[in-house]
Structure 1
Amino acid sequence: MNSARKYIYDTKTKVIVVVVPFVAQGHLNLLLHLSRLIASYNLPVYFVGLSVDIAAVKRRIEGWAPSEYPTLRFHDVPAPPTYLSNINPTAESQSYMDFVAAAMNAAAYLRRPTGDLLKELSSECERLVVVNDALMVNTVKDAVGPVRNLEIYNFYVGSAFHDASLVWEVLRKALHIPSFLWKLVGRFVLPAGAVIPDLLPTPSTCFSPEFFKFIVDQRKSHAVCNGNIYDSCRAIEGPYLDLLGMVYKLARKGPVWGIGPFNPVVTKQKSNDDCSSSRHKCLEWLDKQPPKSVIFVSFGTQTILSDHQLYELAEGLEQSSQSFIWVVKDLTKGYKNTKIKLPAGFEERVKGRGLIIRDWVPQLEILDHISTGGFLSHCGWNSCMESMCRGVPLATWPIQYDQPRNAILITEVLKTGIPIRDWERRDEIIRSSTIRNAIRRLMASPEGEELRNKAAQVGKAVKESVMEGGISRLEMDSFIAQITR
C-alpha cells in the first residue's frame, strides 16, 4: 500500500495509533508489518516494546525499511536486567520455559510505561487508537478509565481457522449438545464453506499450563474491545472470519477484519549484478538449482528438538535424495549459540545438494525463489502465510500453540500440504524413513506436483487480495475508515 492514500489527518487533532505487541519474535514481526500498513495511510503510529526486542525486530525486517514510513515511530522501553538475563542466548542452563516466563513477565512490566504513553498521547489527538496483541490486553487495560478518547482493537496472531474451531467447540460444550447433534446444527449455522474436522488437537496438549492460564486471563479482560483484527485473508479463510464475526457480534466485541497478509507479498530479488555483500549466500546457491527442486527446512525461533530427533531429521533429509536448505541455529538445544552436532560425515555427504545454515536467513526471499518447491515447517502462522503468499506447499511438523490446528488447515482444509508429524503421536520420535517418504511425496511425486499447483492457486488469490480493489485491501480500508471516522 502506498502512502498517497485518501486518509490524511492532522496528527494533533484527529487520530494517533499505538501498537502494542506481545514480546515474542513472531508477534513482534507481525505487528510491525501491521504498523507499516497503518502508517502507509499517513497516520502516526507508535510501536511499543522493550528496546532489546525492537532492535531485534528491526534487524529482521524484509521487503521494506522503516525510513520509507516517516509517520512510524518506535517507543522503546529499557528492558529490566532480569529480562536480559533470561533471553541471553549463551546461557548454559537456558530452557524454553525461561523464554515463556520472561515474555509473560515482560508483558506485566510494560503496563506502567504503556499506560504513561497512552495518557501522554491522549491529549494530542481527538481519538487514541490502540491495536494490542490479544495477549497484551492486561498491559493496556489500566489506561481504559483515565483515557476517555481511547479505542481498543485486539489483534489475534493465529489463523482464523484456529480461533473459529475453538469457538465452535466451546459453544457446543457450553450448550451441552451431543457431538452428533452438533454436526446437524452446523449444517444450518456454519457459514458456507466452513469445514471443521471432528478430531482437533485440544488446547491442553498444545499449551503449557502456565501459558494457557496466561492466555485465559487475557481473554477474560476482552470486554473492552472495539474490534478484532486477524492476519488472515478472506480469499482463503472467509468462512472462519465470518463465523468469528457472528460470535463477536453476539458478544458485542465489535467487527472482525481479515486484513492479511501483513508481510509484503512480493519480495524484490537481488540479482547477481547487485552488490554481492548485500545478497545472502543461500540465494546464490539457490540460483544454481533447478526450478521447484529445493525444500526449505526451518522451525522458527522457539523450537527445540532433541538430539535424537535432529539425527533422524538429518538422516531423513539425506535419504530423500532431494536438495534442501536447512536452518539449524534455532534448533540448538537450550538456545545456546553453538554448532549443533549432526551425524558424523553428514555435511560432507550432502555437500552440493544440501545447504546448512546456522544463522538468520531471508525467509521471504527463499520462499519467493523459483528454485524453492516446498517448505518443511513447524506451521507457525507467520510461516504459513508467507508460504501461502508465495504458492509454496508445506510439509507440516507442528510443535505447540496454534501450530497443530494450523497444520490441519493446511493439510485437510486448504489441501496445500502433507503431514509429517501426527499430533496424536506427538511424544514419539519421527523416524528418518517417515521424514524421507514425506519429503519425496512433496518434492518428487505427482501428488507433490498437484499440491504445488493448488498452492500456486492459493498464492495467486492471496496476492490479488492485497491489490487495489482486492478483498484484503478493502478490509484494510474499512478498518482505517473505522478508526478515522
Structure 2
Amino acid sequence: MATSSELHFVLVPLAAQGHIIPMVDVARLIAACGPRVTIVTTPVNAARNRATVDGARTAGLPLDLVELPLSGPRHGLPEGMEAVDQVIGHEPAMYIKFLSAIWDLAGPLEEYIRALPRRPVCLVADASSPWTAPVCARLGIPRLVMHFPSAYFQLAVHCLTAHGVHDRVDEMEPFEVPGFPVRAVGCKATVRGFFQYPGLEKEHQDALDAEATADGLLFNTFRGIEGTFLDAYAAALGKTTWAVGPTCASSSMVDDADSKAGRGKPADVDTGHIVSWLDARQQASVLYVSFGSITQLTAKQLAELARGLEASGRPFVWAIKEAKTDAAVRALLDDEGFEARVKDRGLLVRGWAPQVTILSHPAVGGFLTHCGWNGTLEALSLGVPALTWPTIADQFCSEMLLVDVLGVGVRSGVKIPAMYVPKEGEGVQVTSGDVEKAIAELMGDEPEAAARRTKAKEIAAEARAAMVEGGSSHSDLTDLISYVSELSRKRGHENSTALPSAAAEL
C-alpha cells in the first residue's frame, strides 16, 4: 500500500457556494492526513475560495486549486457566469444552459488528469457532478460520490423514489414518507431531489447512474445526529458510506480566526466591527439572520421580516444580500427608516457576512436560517438553536431534522417553497406577527426554550468530539483514505495485468 504522502486525491465540487465550502473543508481534512489534494473548479469559483486554500498551503497542507475554463458563452451564458448564485433571478432556461456548460467540463477535466505525471488514486465528485463518472471510467480511477445535503434528505428522496410516490401524487398533496425510520410528512414541493424537476430528466438519470456505479459515498454529517439515516441509506444502496463531518467543527477551522471570517468568500463588512458590536451585547441575546447565498426573499416578505424583527425587541444581526441589488429593499432600509429605527440594537450587513465568526460569538443565542445544510451544521456545531425558514430543495428536510428529530428548532411557519406562492401573495408566507412570535418562542425563558438550548449545547459537544482523533468522523476519514489506497492499488494491478493479454490477442 502506498504511503499517504504518495496519494493524490482530486475533488470536483458543484459550482455553488453551499457545495464548494464543505468540499474545501474536506480537502483540508484529507490533506491534513498526508495525501496531496487538488480541488478542480472554474475561475470565478477559484477566485472566491483561493484565500482559504492559500491559507491552508501556508499552514503546510499539500493542497492545490486548479481552474478549468467554463464554456459558458457557447451555451448561451454571459461571460463570467460560473456559479449557481449568479443564475438565480434569471429565467429557468438559464439554469438549463448553466448545467449544460458544467457538464461540458468533462473534457477539460480529462485533459487535466491525463497530463498529470501520475494518475490520482481517487476522484471525489459532488453528487451533482455526475458528468465525472465517464471520465473516471475511461481513466480507471476510483470515484467516490459526496452528498452535501443531510442523510435524512437523501434517504427520504430515495424512499419516495423506491415507492413511486412522486408518480402518483399531486404537487401539494401531503404524504408520509414510506419506509422511513421516523415519521416524516411532506409533499412533492418540499421533498424532491435536486434534479427531480421537469426538463432535468437527463441530469437526474445521470446522477442516479453515477451514484450506482460509485466506489463509495461520503456525507458531511456525523453519526451522533444522523447515524440511523446513514445506515439505512448505505443499506438501501449497498454502498460503503462514510460520515466525515461536520467539517466546520474541525479544530483547524474552529480555532483559525481568518478561516472563520473568510469561510466561503470575503465578507462585505469589517469582521472586527461585527465582533466589537457583539462584544457589547449580553450572552445569548442576539438573533443572527441569514438566508445564504442563493435564497432570495421578495421585497414584501422582507418587509414583513423587518417589521417582525423590529417588534421583537431583540438585538439582531441581519445579513441582507438583497440590499445590494433590490431597490425596493434599499428603500425599506433607508427611505422608510428601518435601519435608523433599529440602529441601537440591529446591525445590517448588506451582503456576505462572516457567518461562523458570528455564530461562534457567545452573544448569539439564535439563528434564523433558510436551513441550508452548511448553515444547519454550523449552528449545530456551535450550539445555536434555529428559527427555521426553509425555501427550496433539501431545506424542508433539514427543518424536520432540526425541529422534529433533534429538538433544537422552532418553525417560522413556511409551508411550501416560495416559487409556489400565488403571485397575489407576493411571496409572503410569514407575517411580521409570525416572526415576532417565533423569535419569542426561540429565545424566551420558557422551559421549552431552555431545553432547546441545552440540547443544542449537547449536540455541539458531540459534533466536536466526532472530528477529533478517535471520534466517529475522524475514524471514517482515516478509513476512507485506507480504503481508497487499497482500491487504487488493486485496480492498478488489474489494469496492468490486463494489458499483456489484450496485446497478445492482436
**TM-score normalised by length of structure 2:** 0.81
Corresponding residue of 1:469 = 470
Matched letter for residue 77 of structure 1? L
Corresponding residue of 1:166 = 157
2:311 is the alignment partner of 1:326: no
Corresponding residue of 2:383 = 391
Corresponding residue of 1:109 = 104
Matched letter for residue 332 of structure 2? L
Check 1:185–1:18 CA distance in 2 against 1; reply closer, same or farther (3 A cut). Answer: closer
SS for the counterpart of 1:461 is: helix
Contact 2:366 2:443 in 1 (8 A): yes
Structure 2 stretches lacking a partner, 5+ long: 169-174, 259-268, 487-506
SS for the counterpart of 1:449 is: helix
Corresponding residue of 2:209 = 220
Corresponding residue of 1:352 = 344
Contact 1:119 1:146 in 2 (8 A): no
SS for the counterpart of 2:229 is: helix
Contact 1:265 1:390 in 2 (8 A): no
Corresponding residue of 1:137 = 130
Deviation at 1:332, TM superposition (A): 4.8
Deviating more after overlay: 25-34 vs 415-424: 415-424
Deviating more after overlay: 195-204 vs 362-371: 195-204
Separation of aligned partners in 2, 1:113 and 1:450: 52
Corresponding residue of 1:311 = 303
Match for residue 228 of structure 2 among 239, 258, 267: 239
Corresponding residue of 2:436 = 436
Corresponding residue of 1:455 = 456
Corresponding residue of 2:240 = 255
Check 1:93–1:399 CA distance in 2 against 1; reply closer, same or farther (3 A cut). Answer: closer
Contact 2:323 2:330 in 1 (8 A): yes
Corresponding residue of 2:139 = 147
Check 1:392–1:105 CA distance in 2 against 1; reply closer, same or farther (3 A cut). Answer: same
Check 1:42–1:64 CA distance in 2 against 1; reply closer, same or farther (3 A cut). Answer: same
Separation of aligned partners in 1, 2:384 and 2:303: 26
Matched letter for residue 440 of structure 1? A
Check 1:8–1:479 CA distance in 2 against 1; reply closer, same or farther (3 A cut). Answer: same
Matched letter for residue 478 of structure 1? D
Contact 2:69 2:108 in 1 (8 A): no
Separation of aligned partners in 2, 1:290 and 1:270: 22
- For this pair of structures, how many residues does the alignment match? 451
Deviation per residue, 1:404-446 (Å, 9 max, x gap): 1111111111111011133248525111000111011111231
SS for the counterpart of 1:421 is: coil
Q: CA RMSD in A?
A: 3.4
2:287 is the alignment partner of 1:295: yes
2:106 is the alignment partner of 1:119: no
Separation of aligned partners in 2, 1:217 and 1:90: 23
Deviation at 1:166, TM superposition (A): 1.8
Separation of aligned partners in 2, 1:423 and 1:63: 42
Separation of aligned partners in 2, 1:280 and 1:411: 33
Deviation at 1:109, TM superposition (A): 2.7
Matched letter for residue 118 of structure 2? E
Deviation per residue, 1:314-365 (Å, 9 max, x gap): 0010001111000012x359x5699733251111111120000113221111
Contact 2:160 2:178 in 1 (8 A): no
Deviation at 1:92, TM superposition (A): 13
Corresponding residue of 2:393 = 401
Match for residue 67 of structure 2 among 65, 70, 76: 76
Separation of aligned partners in 1, 2:84 and 2:148: 25
Corresponding residue of 1:362 = 354
Contact 1:378 1:396 in 2 (8 A): yes
Separation of aligned partners in 1, 2:313 and 2:122: 53
Matched letter for residue 215 of structure 2? N
Deviation at 1:195, TM superposition (A): 1.6
Deviating more after overlay: 352-361 vs 77-86: 77-86
SS for the counterpart of 1:352 is: coil
Separation of aligned partners in 2, 1:154 and 1:72: 20
Corresponding residue of 2:492 = none
Contact 1:397 1:421 in 2 (8 A): yes
Contact 1:7 1:41 in 2 (8 A): no
Deviation at 1:205, TM superposition (A): 11
